[in-house]
Amino acid sequence: MKKRFKFLRTLANIFRILGVIACALSLLGGIILIVLSISNGNFWSLFGYSAYDGALTGITTGVIALVTGLLTGLVTYGYGELIFVFLAIEENTHRTSVFLEEMQKEQE
């Protein structure tokens, strides 16, 4: 059977790829922020924070970036999967329709 809705399949794959990229970048960015805040308090002095305030700000920012980025990536990946679910439902419905039409022709 010929695959239909090629653009939707492409779009779903793009969403899945973007979701993985968003998860990877947020994981990397969050870890970098947390490591910078723990290891080097002087980094945050560039922004006018003391060593303690800079560490606290860095950890908080890193955790928030990590969580929101991962959630954003998962939701984006989920959109891609949702499109594939809808395409599978359409394909199954189409097959069922064709099957029922063939059964009806056989009965006549």
8-67 pLDDT tens trace: 999 999 999 999 999 999 999 999 988 888 876 677 777 787 878 888 888 899 999 999
Give the separation between CA 102 and CA 4, rounded to whole angstroms. Answer: 21
Give the separation between CA 8 and CA 13, rounded to whole angstroms. Answer: 9
Say whether pTM exceeds 0.85: no
69-104 pLDDT tens trace: 999 999 999 999 999 999 999 999 999 999 999 998
Q: Is 1 within the bounds of a domain?
A: no
pLDDT at 1: 58
Q: Is 43 within the bounds of a domain?
A: yes
Q: Is 28 within the bounds of a domain?
A: yes
Domain that holds residue 98: 6-107
Encoded tokens for 12: 């779903």
